[in-house]
Amino acid sequence: MNSNRLEQGLQKLHEIDGEAGQAVINSLQHISPDLARLTIEFPFADVYSRPGLDLRAREIATVAALTALGHCAPQLKVHLNAALNVGCSEEEIKEVIIQMAVYAGFPASLNAMFAFAEVLERRAD
């Protein structure tokens, strides 16, 4: 049932992104509750809940992709936090960002690294 997908997605979202993920969903409620629901259901209930890849590997893949795409800084910051939440070390995340210089160029890596600096500062507060 749909309500199950929503519940399952919310639980997975909370497990991965903590309050940052919920904040994104909340900020969508006013403008498009439907997109908020779809953003919980497909990514978190249908994809992140699948077996076959642990959450650390999933967040490494997402940080890599968002760094390479280059045009989604807010989502990258959410997933840099998420990567730390699910057990990636700071050093591992920096390595993923550095490696993206090979595939998406230095500007993509530099911008992601500056985003990570911001994320780490906020967590330190």
Neighbours of 54 (CB within 10 A): 11
Q: Which of 112, 23, 26, 12 is nearest to 58 (CA)?
A: 12
Query: DSSP label at 51?
Result: S
d(CA 88, CA 64): 13
Q: Interaction with a copy of itself in 24-83: which residues (CB under 8 A)?
A: 24, 27-28, 30-32, 34-35, 38-39, 41-43, 46-48, 50, 52-53, 56-58, 60-72, 74-75
Binding site for a copy of itself (CB under 8 A): 1, 24, 27-28, 30-32, 34-35, 38-39, 41-43, 46-48, 50, 52-53, 56-58, 60-72, 74-75, 91-92, 94-111, 113-114, 116-117, 120
